[in-house]
Structure 1
Amino acid sequence: MGGRWLFVALPLAALSVALSGHPWAGLALVVVAWGRVLTLRSARIVVITGLVFVVIGGVWWGRQRQLAGRLVSAFTESPASLTVRFQPDALSIRGATYSFVGRAAATGERLILHGRIGSAEELHRLQTVDHAQSWHIQGTQSGILPATNFNQFDGATYWSRRGIVKQVRIAQVTPLMATTGPLTWWSDWWHGLRARLIRACQRLPGALKVYALGLLPGYRALEATQELEGMQRLGLLHLFSISGLHVSLVLLVVEWLCVHCRLPRNLWERGMIIGLPGYFILAGGGGSILRASLMRGLQLSGRQLGLRVTGLDAWSLTLIAALMGNAGLLFELGSQLSFGLSLVLILLEQESFAWRQVGLALVSLPSLLNGLFQWHLLTLLANWLVVPLFPVLLLPLTVVGTAIFPWVPEVSRGCATLLGWFDQTMTWLGTLPGNLVFGKPWWWVCWLWIWLAVGVFSRPVGQRRKLLRLLAMSYGLMYGAIHFPWHGEVTYFDVGQGDSILIRERFNRHVSLIDTGGHLGFQQPHWVPKIPVTYAADRTSVTYLRSHGVTTIDDLYLTHHDADHIGDLPAILKAFRVKRVLVPAGMEKEPAWQHLLANRQATTALMPIKTTSDLPLTVRHPFEADPAENANSLALQGQYGGLNFLFMGDLDQAGEQKMLEVDPHLRTDVLKLGHHGSKTASGVAFLNQVRPRWGIISAGRHNRYGHPNPETLARLRADQIPAVSTQTSGMIRYVFAGQHGEWQTKLKGD
């Protein structure tokens, strides 16, 4: 079946599309794929394809039924008492918290478990775990929260595809003796080795630590986001972790050493086949590792058995095996790039270097735009420059620097310096003009682009330019549709215990953001490891705005100085061009929050405002300059899509009363309740006067303040005001065109 396994894999891939995201489109692909199989007129291929299709489809169906029976609510917690077994390399420590994936001893169910570290001694014990552990745990369990904002990473879906639907919050741990049986000792040994390798890499200096962790045990360092920022922007990360290129190079080096040591081919090939499962564990066990390891293992096994396994056959069989383990594989960016780019290299082996680069770009671009929403125009140049450097510079520096560190740390520090210079160069290149925030294309357009890319390379070289022009035109049309939308929106982000509200007018004529969200910081004990600063806005509002092609925020309103409203300001200022930052009069003089403006561009104006200010939004409060506490919070009002919106920040009842005294006829249709639904806001007199048709509450789940307060909810019920909360509905948005619109929520549909 030389080259024919692809036709076995295609119907299965189409079925996975139907079951994991796009049922009707997937079923259409199933029909097309089966039609192509039947045109081969090979009874053998039809039978094999049918068996694979039915058996693996049955496995998926049974697994889905099993997971459905385990589902519990993500919004309520129940007591849990269980014994779990987990591997040492699964344990991840971040500051004063830890988490891992373990398996329940009683049921065999895999779970996510997380807890807090209570002392320096406990931290040390966790940091030195190097063999399989068995713990008896007391705590609470719940379902895994899905994405609560549109276009946000969906952790619940990600883990469900890996057979995990529950998480446990650990309250108390009793360590037990973990036993190793005849079926587990092999994997236990490799996981222990990987844990020790991770610990060794974590002691390395600077950039060498990031590269060594990523390329050797496949572990993401906490510093990776900052260190590899330039490579991320230039779209180069897939070369290192996603594509599995480093795995292929390591295997080639091992083969080269075996050949030049004059070892018998049969001996070292069998050794590699036996060792590949262990290396799969050691390298992190990710999708790209699986693809690279399994493809090489299949080719070596075929050689041992006297069978010819082509690169395309190995790729197809690997895809079948990977899909059996994860039916949603093709909906994950890493897998799309790993399998897609490797297939391009196989199919375009006879093409020139330039056309192979074009093929790689055409296949990867739809996935990158759909997953990251942006693409740098220098990506092709960066790929051309960096790919040759990877095997001759980056990987050798990483391996040598890691191996020699215990004996000659000066050499390792030199390697770290060279890698750091490389990262600085990539970061500089990433800051050059050319980063295109494209937005999220429609899913069917991404499929169309892939189909057109296939069409390009199915034609002779001289006939490809016409299709390339058509592709370029379709990208331009999609860009215009995203950047000049026919509708506007008023969106309340789910940022937990905080506020962040987007107002985006039709055609993106004017974009305003009210607050950024953020989290209150608490002083940690001295023994807690320092971790890089991260902002939740990068996963919520920044992601959402980029998915809509937004690069400029015209007005950024900061209602007052509390961290849950402005703590993520640095993330917004770094990600977007902000024309004006507007604060309540008096706040511009307060020094305590000025450090948040460090990323402000020279063209960004800081503007104090009060009720007399002339702005797109009407300022209802404050009336005079005062300290920017809750009592002096901004209150803003605007008209969108036939509805009147009133945004109250954290304003208290005294401020509400001042507003009523100035404007006794104040009315609104949609009221964003002040102070997250606290009883200190949304007074009876205020609600009776403004008469909102809907109330919006932005508050965190299980927050320590008890927001929204039962007394506030009782006031709303008494006035027959329906309230929607981000706690239960996630993102809430009103999408409008002209004087009409519709309400949508992320967690409960339209």
Structure 2
Amino acid sequence: MLLSLVSFPFIVAQQYTWHILQTLVGFAVIPIFSTLIVPFTLLGFAGQDIPGIAKVVNMLIQCFTSCLDSMSMLPGDMIIGKLPSVVLVLFFTCSLLIYVKQSALAFFCRGMCLLLLFFGTLWVRYPLYGEFTTFDVGQGDAALVRTPFNRSVTLIDTGGQVDFSAKKDWQIKQYQRTNGESVIVHYLHSRGISQINNLVLSHHDYDHIGNAKVILKHLSVQRVIIPAGMLKQQKFLKEIQPYLGRTKVCELTAGDEIPNCPFHIVHPFTSGQAENQDSIALFGCLGNQRILTAGDLDRAGEKAIAEQYPKLKVDILKLGHHGSKTASDPETLRKWQPQYGIISAGRDNRYNHPHKETIRTCTVNQITNLNTQKDGMIRYIYDNNQTSYFEVKITHELKATVSTNSK
């Protein structure tokens, strides 16, 4: 029990979750590990030259780890979030003193552990600020829209790695974490998020929907929002439909409202085939910034939005199609007058995104570029007092802060 308490802050600091069965399983696992696994491992090492010994030991260890993996998938995983360092340090200190002989001190430390966990979790789950975050998922697209106090959580696309190389069976890993799990799910857990109100899939390209099944597996999703016409497409039936469970699917077009979401749909105008030109485009205000994101929408689609909404102005533009020259129409960008352009593209990608033409268009229109290739995850943070700023991070270290308070 003491080992479980002492290890709690270290596990939560890395995983942001805690399984309620973790302590109970430890009571069974520790004696099994010490009395069976360790001796058999030593036996297998010492008897490598004896036929069959190594195989039997490997089977035993594999069975043991499979049982642990199965138990980890049982219900009871609590999302704690990224607790402040001072809370983790205090919790660790108090847990060391829980079993001291002085009953008064032990009682005080137990109460402190409960209070630290309660108020620390509240602090994470109900933040005073909201955010628009572009994830660094390589050659793909994924963004989070979250309002203060986590009142509304919307995920726009999920990324998804396309593997063009042919691999033999022995080269395929039995289990490999996708960036949907290691980047998106891990970050959402760090923010104390266990439920997504809306998962918006802009269109059916794999680099936008490939990790949707991972999101649907690890988080509760109320609604999946897709462009009209996508429900019958083969990619949706293969990549999304089998993992929906009780999640509701909504096919929408421009003018339709997304429940509990600060953004509005401004494209597509008609039903299509869920291809690039049919991408969902979202527009909304977060804090003092007007934001537009449009998946892989092409120049013709951008022009159509500008014609349909002639008074539309944009402060932060998620540049279409990963900075491709097929998007970011110069005339349309002059009308929208964005101050910041966000590009989501993979490093050294095969498409050479972003294209030089797009960068030139941004330079001519005095648009400040933020690019996941060089900047990593990009976060626009705001609160209800109209204070906002950008955080540009590389490997979790603050690289730059761009103030937007002047707007």
The residue number in structure 2 matching 1:620 is 266
The residue number in structure 2 matching 1:318 is none
* Greater helix content: 1
Hey, what's the Cα distance between the residues in 1 that align with 2:167 and 2:62? Answer: 31
The residue number in structure 1 matching 2:390 is 743
Question: Contact between 2:227 and 2:274, CA under 8 Å: does it hold in 1?
Answer: yes
* Greater strand content: 2
The residue number in structure 2 matching 1:691 is 337
Per-residue deviation at 1:397?
Answer: 4.4
Hey, what's the Cα distance between the residues in 1 that align with 2:315 and 2:100? Answer: 57
Question: Contact between 1:669 and 1:691, CA under 8 Å: does it hold in 2?
Answer: yes
Counterpart check, 1:466 vs 2:111: no
Per-residue deviation at 1:525?
Answer: 5.2
- Measured at CA, do residues 598 and 402 of structure 1 come closer, stay the same or move farther in structure 2, by a change above 3 Å? farther
Which of the residues 442, 448, 457 maps onto 2:84?
442
Question: Contact between 1:577 and 1:601, CA under 8 Å: does it hold in 2?
Answer: no
The residue number in structure 1 matching 2:405 is none
The residue number in structure 2 matching 1:638 is 284
AA of the residue aligned to 2:5: L
Which secondary structure does the structure 2 equivalent of 1:491 belong to?
strand
- Measured at CA, do residues 576 and 525 of structure 1 come closer, stay the same or move farther in structure 2, by a change above 3 Å? closer
- Measured at CA, do residues 467 and 702 of structure 1 come closer, stay the same or move farther in structure 2, by a change above 3 Å? same
AA of the residue aligned to 1:744: E
| Structure 1 residues 207-263: Cα deviation after superposition (integer angstroms, max 9, x where no partner) | xxxxxxxxxxxxxxxxxxxxxxxxxxxxxxxxxxxxxxxxxxxxxxxxxxxxxxxxx
AA of the residue aligned to 2:151: R
544-553 vs 733-742, which moves further = 733-742
| Structure 1 residues 670-714: Cα deviation after superposition (integer angstroms, max 9, x where no partner) | 111101111110112211221212211112222222221111111
Hey, what's the Cα distance between the residues in 2 that align with 1:638 and 1:459? Answer: 59
Task: Please show how residues 131-530 of structure 1 align to structure 2 within 5 Å.
Answer: 357-358=1-2, 360-400=3-43, 408-409=51-52, 419-461=61-103, 463-524=105-166, 526=168, 529-530=171-172
Per-residue deviation at 1:645?
Answer: 0.6
AA of the residue aligned to 1:597: I
- Measured at CA, do residues 497 and 461 of structure 1 come closer, stay the same or move farther in structure 2, by a change above 3 Å? same
Hey, what's the Cα distance between the residues in 1 that align with 2:157 and 2:88? Answer: 34
Per-residue deviation at 1:601?
Answer: 4.7
Hey, what's the Cα distance between the residues in 2 that align with 1:576 and 1:527? Answer: 31
Hey, what's the Cα distance between the residues in 1 that align with 2:169 and 2:16? Answer: 39
Per-residue deviation at 1:421?
Answer: 4.8
Question: Contact between 1:696 and 1:724, CA under 8 Å: does it hold in 2?
Answer: yes
TM-score for the superposition, normalised by structure 2: 0.89
- Measured at CA, do residues 525 and 488 of structure 1 come closer, stay the same or move farther in structure 2, by a change above 3 Å? closer
Task: Please show how residues 549-568 of structure 1 align to structure 2 within 5 Å.
Answer: 549-568=192-211
Hey, what's the Cα distance between the residues in 2 that align with 1:412 and 1:395? Answer: 14
Question: Contact between 1:556 and 1:580, CA under 8 Å: does it hold in 2?
Answer: yes
AA of the residue aligned to 2:171: P
Per-residue deviation at 1:656?
Answer: 1.1
Per-residue deviation at 1:429?
Answer: 3.0
The residue number in structure 1 matching 2:404 is none
Higher relative contact order (CA 8 A, sep 6+): 2
Which of the residues 586, 591, 600 maps onto 2:229?
586
Which of the residues 649, 653, 678 maps onto 2:324?
678
Hey, what's the Cα distance between the residues in 1 that align with 2:344 and 2:210? Answer: 16
- Measured at CA, do residues 375 and 699 of structure 1 come closer, stay the same or move farther in structure 2, by a change above 3 Å? same
Per-residue deviation at 1:503?
Answer: 0.6
Hey, what's the Cα distance between the residues in 1 that align with 2:97 and 2:44? Answer: 45
The residue number in structure 2 matching 1:719 is 365
Which of the residues 647, 654, 679 maps onto 2:300?
654
Per-residue deviation at 1:749?
Answer: 2.4
Question: Contact between 2:227 and 2:268, CA under 8 Å: does it hold in 1?
Answer: yes
Hey, what's the Cα distance between the residues in 1 that align with 2:369 and 2:67? Answer: 51
Which secondary structure does the structure 2 equivalent of 1:490 belong to?
strand
Per-residue deviation at 1:492?
Answer: 0.9
Question: Contact between 2:97 and 2:105, CA under 8 Å: does it hold in 1?
Answer: no
The residue number in structure 1 matching 2:354 is 708
Hey, what's the Cα distance between the residues in 1 that align with 2:211 and 2:303? Answer: 30
Question: Contact between 1:494 and 1:698, CA under 8 Å: does it hold in 2?
Answer: yes
AA of the residue aligned to 1:375: W
Hey, what's the Cα distance between the residues in 2 that align with 1:455 and 1:416? Answer: 40
Counterpart check, 1:606 vs 2:249: yes
Question: Contact between 2:299 and 2:326, CA under 8 Å: does it hold in 1?
Answer: yes
AA of the residue aligned to 1:432: L
Per-residue deviation at 1:417?
Answer: 5.5
The residue number in structure 1 matching 2:377 is 731
AA of the residue aligned to 1:749: A
The residue number in structure 2 matching 1:573 is 216
Which secondary structure does the structure 2 equivalent of 1:553 belong to?
strand
Which secondary structure does the structure 1 equivalent of 2:400 belong to?
coil
AA of the residue aligned to 1:708: P
Hey, what's the Cα distance between the residues in 1 that align with 2:367 and 2:329? Answer: 13
Per-residue deviation at 1:400?
Answer: 4.9
Q: Which runs of 5+ in 2 are unaligned?
A: 402-407
Hey, what's the Cα distance between the residues in 2 that align with 1:505 and 1:732? Answer: 16
The residue number in structure 2 matching 1:240 is none
- Measured at CA, do residues 461 and 576 of structure 1 come closer, stay the same or move farther in structure 2, by a change above 3 Å? same
Task: Report the count of equivalent residues.
Answer: 392
| Structure 1 residues 108-164: Cα deviation after superposition (integer angstroms, max 9, x where no partner) | xxxxxxxxxxxxxxxxxxxxxxxxxxxxxxxxxxxxxxxxxxxxxxxxxxxxxxxxx
AA of the residue aligned to 1:743: F
Question: Contact between 1:573 and 1:599, CA under 8 Å: does it hold in 2?
Answer: no
Per-residue deviation at 1:636?
Answer: 0.8
AA of the residue aligned to 2:119: L
Which secondary structure does the structure 2 equivalent of 1:464 belong to?
helix
| Structure 1 residues 615-655: Cα deviation after superposition (integer angstroms, max 9, x where no partner) | 13211111122112111111111111121110011100111
Structure index of larger Rg: 1
| Structure 1 residues 177-217: Cα deviation after superposition (integer angstroms, max 9, x where no partner) | xxxxxxxxxxxxxxxxxxxxxxxxxxxxxxxxxxxxxxxxx
Per-residue deviation at 1:394?
Answer: 2.6
- Measured at CA, do residues 730 and 424 of structure 1 come closer, stay the same or move farther in structure 2, by a change above 3 Å? closer
AA of the residue aligned to 1:522: F
Hey, what's the Cα distance between the residues in 1 that align with 2:295 and 2:323? Answer: 11
Hey, what's the Cα distance between the residues in 2 that align with 1:743 and 1:423? Answer: 43
AA of the residue aligned to 2:252: I
Question: Contact between 2:185 and 2:218, CA under 8 Å: does it hold in 1?
Answer: yes
AA of the residue aligned to 1:577: S
Per-residue deviation at 1:716?
Answer: 1.5
TM-score for the superposition, normalised by structure 1: 0.50
Per-residue deviation at 1:457?
Answer: 4.7
Per-residue deviation at 1:447?
Answer: 1.7
Question: Contact between 2:195 and 2:222, CA under 8 Å: does it hold in 1?
Answer: yes
Question: Contact between 1:570 and 1:598, CA under 8 Å: does it hold in 2?
Answer: no
Question: Contact between 2:226 and 2:251, CA under 8 Å: does it hold in 1?
Answer: yes
Which secondary structure does the structure 2 equivalent of 1:580 belong to?
strand
